[in-house]
A and B are shown apart, each in its own frame.
Chain A
Amino acid sequence: MSELLCIEGLTVRHGATVALDAFSLAVRRDELFVLLGASGSGKTTLLRAIAGFALPASGRIVLNGQDIAALPPHRRPVNTVFQSYALFPHMTVAANIAFGLRGMDRAAVSARVREMLALVRLESLADRRPHQLSGGQQQRVALARGLAPRPALLLLDEPLSALDRALRTETRDELVRLRRHLGTSFILVTHDQQEALTMADRIGVMRDGSMAQVGTPAEVYEGPNSRFVAEFLGSANILPGALRADGSVDLPGLGTVATNGGIARPVLLALRPERLRLGDTGGVNRLTGVLAASVYAGETLIHTVRLADGSDIRVTQSLHDGLSGALPTPDAAVTVSWSPDACILLPP
């Protein structure tokens, strides 16, 4: 059986509000599963329920075939990297890492601590106290402390949110490499879609205490199953229309565009800004409009095009050749074009 963790019908309440509503999820062995959601979507509550800090009103949490929903936190074979790291301020780095290694003999503990220190490259800082370390180093100590007892599953609550941007990218890649090397399953909570897309083996997008969509980053980004997911992960131009039997979509007031099919019903057409082109070169689908604004964002130009029916769509243009000559004149009549496989059809 490839499922490591199975959550079935989990409901968690905070007073009168329902934080998780009959929630189900399966996490596989040897994967990095990212829970993505806005604040208040229930992702941290889910993590706390798995660790044992939030008591479920009903439901099962099955880890390695054993229901752990009723066990107190210290009896669960699950460790957590807390958002604030929660390192023990009165203990050295080595003592922090050794904290979870109770019941082992002294030689085994010190061997494991050395192994963990080497894993996160902090051998030289073993005798420091947490307040003498930088944020990135504290984060690595928290990771080493969580991994030391060889948990079946490691939970990471926004582990990169306290780091500055450059360090975040570096730590992100290191975390993925480290997890592949160890083969331990990670569940990582984040609100940062870039983090989710780059790190995850699979993403679960959460909304209001339930799961909106689960899949690989490419599956979820390119095939969102709802307007919420399309707009939460990346950005999307949403145009209402009606799908016809031949697979084309009738956009009222704008015309007809070709798509890769579906069944006849009213639909929302979602178009990723980076799949659209200004001009005729993008594909068979074309709409005309007026250029309302262009914003320079470093690697891209972000255009806003006002269509015939008054709605705005966003088009991003990669600046492969730099900015020179790329800046169009405002209020010019433009054509937006794209290919049928750039069309994402969503239920209204």
Chain B
Amino acid sequence: MSRFFVLAPVWGWLALLLAVPLAIVLAIALGETADRVPPFALGFSLESFRTILTDPLYRDALFMSLRVAGLSTAGCLLLGYPMALGIARAPERWRDPLLLAAMLPFWTGFPMRINAWIGLLADDGWMVAALSWLTGSPVRLLYTDAALYLGVVYTYLPFMVLPLFASLSRLDPALDDAAADLGAPPWVRLLRVTLPLSAPGIAAGCVLVFIPAVGEYAIPELLGGPGAQLAGRVLWSEFFANRDWPMASALAVTLLVLLLVVPALARHMLAARKYCNNDTLNRFQQRG
């Protein structure tokens, strides 16, 4: 009984900040639009969900979100793994400065950094000029898919590097020595020892990048082309432009369900490996 009272504030906050808002979103998603303030009527209608699953606009937006998030996660992994490995294997006194350098951009506000990219990628910027000169034909960067992916990978790279570093720096260096001693050249050591042993870090990093990237709204809006109709953008326009609150809420719920499936799958896959403990996964799931 005393346990209940000790934990009561925790449950209280969880209910107030998590359960109640979620319940409100779900309630709106099940309602119908109405010509009043706020612009919906409570009810039990699955119409919005049916539209999301059948109308190509919403379906494509969800698929595109998953594709952009998936490809960006892969990009972050390809860039972040060598970075994390380099930092983890650097001499002790270099590790903290290098980690700091990886996180340094985050000391500047997000809009500032994206605006800097807009300036860099703009049609009259030096990057466009250099690329046009190199390829011999006019090139466009800003408001293209390339700019969109660049922006997402740039923004989420530290979320990949940090868990990878945490996992790689915990590996016993003697294991790499043992593999070398048994005749394995560097690339075999990477593939057969380092990579499988850092699987928990890879899973943590991928989930930390993938989940926020799926719901990303600002980067496609600011850097992507008009065709980049991602779920976040569609949701925004349903809410603010169309004033269709039930549809926007239903999109949010659908996205949330999709995002709960991904870490569950990652967890399931890792649980199959006995050597991996679920600490890392538990930690970020609690944080998320």
Give A residues with C-beta under 8 Å from B. Answer: 51-53, 72-75, 78-80, 82, 84, 86-90, 99-100, 102, 129, 131, 145-146, 149
A146 to B172, CA, bound (A): 18
A51, B273: Cα distance in complex, Å? 32
Contact of A102 with B172 in the complex, beta carbons under 8 Å: no
- Interchain CB contact (< 8 A) of B197 among A51, A90, A99, A100: A90
Instruction: Tell me whether A73 and B181 are in contact (CB under 8 A).
Output: yes
Q: Let me know if B275 and A129 touch, CB within 8 A.
A: yes
B196 within 8 Å of A (CB atoms): yes
Q: Which residues of A contact B275 (CB under 8 A)?
A: 89-90, 129, 131
CA A215 to CA B174, docked complex, whole Å: 32
Cβ A149 vs Cβ B183 within 8 A: yes
Contacts of B183 in A (CB 8 A): 74-75, 100, 102, 149
Whole-angstrom CA separation of A80 from B175 in the bound complex: 12
Of B183, B193, B196, the most chain A CB neighbours within 10 A belong to B183
16 more CB-based (< 8 A) A-B contacts, given A52-B181, A86-B174: A53-B177, A74-B180, A74-B181, A79-B182, A80-B178, A82-B174, A89-B275, A90-B197, A90-B273, A99-B192, A100-B182, A100-B183, A102-B184, A131-B275, A146-B182, A149-B183
> Considering only CB atoms, which chain B residue lies closest to A83 in the complex?
B174
- The answer to whether B197 touches A89, judged by C-beta atoms less than 8 angstroms apart, is yes
Q: How large is the interface on B (under 10, 10 to 19, 20 to 34, 35 or more residues)?
A: 20 to 34
CA distance A149 to B183 in the complex (A): 9
Q: Are A145 and B180 in contact (CB under 8 A)?
A: no
Residues on B with C-beta less than 8 A from A53 are 177, 180
With a cutoff of 8 Å between Cβ atoms, the chain A residues found around residue B185 in the complex are: 74
| Shortest Cβ gap from A202 to chain B (Å) | 24
What's the A-B contact tally at a CB cutoff of 8 Å?
A: 61
Inter-chain contact A86/B182, CB cutoff 8 Å: no
Q: Would B193 and A88 count as touching, CB distance under 8 A?
A: yes
B179 on the A face (CB < 8 A):
yes
Closest Cβ–Cβ distance, residue B193 to chain A (whole Å): 6
Q: Can you list 18 A-B contacts with CB-CB less than 8 angstroms, sorted by A residue number?
A: A53-B180, A74-B180, A74-B181, A79-B181, A80-B178, A82-B177, A84-B174, A87-B178, A88-B175, A89-B275, A90-B273, A99-B179, A99-B192, A102-B184, A102-B188, A129-B274, A146-B181, A149-B182
Please, which residue of chain B has its CB at the minimum distance from the CB of A53? B177
Q: Which residues of A contact B193 (CB under 8 A)?
A: 88
Q: Give the chain A neighbours of B178 by CB distance below 8 A.
A: 80, 82, 86-88
User: Would B181 and A51 count as touching, CB distance under 8 A?
Assistant: yes
A135 to chain B, nearest CB (A): 16
A82: which B residues are within 8 A, CB to CB? 174, 177-178
Distance in Å: Cβ of A139 to nearest Cβ of chain B: 14
Smallest Cβ-Cβ distance to B274: which chain A residue? A129
What's the nearest-Cβ distance from chain B to residue A250, in Å?
Answer: 55
Please report the C-alpha to C-alpha distance between residue A100 and residue B185 in the assembled complex, in whole angstroms. 11
Chain A residues with Cβ under 8 A from B174's Cβ? 82, 84, 86
Docked CA distance A131–B275 (Å): 8
- In the bound complex, how far is the Cα of B188 from the Cα of A86, in angstroms? 17
- Check A86 against B172 for contact (C-beta < 8 Å): yes
CB-CB under 8 A from A79, the residues of chain B are 181-182
Using Cβ atoms and an 8 Å threshold, which residues of chain A touch B180? 52-53, 72-74
CB within 8 Å of A: which of B253-283? 273-275
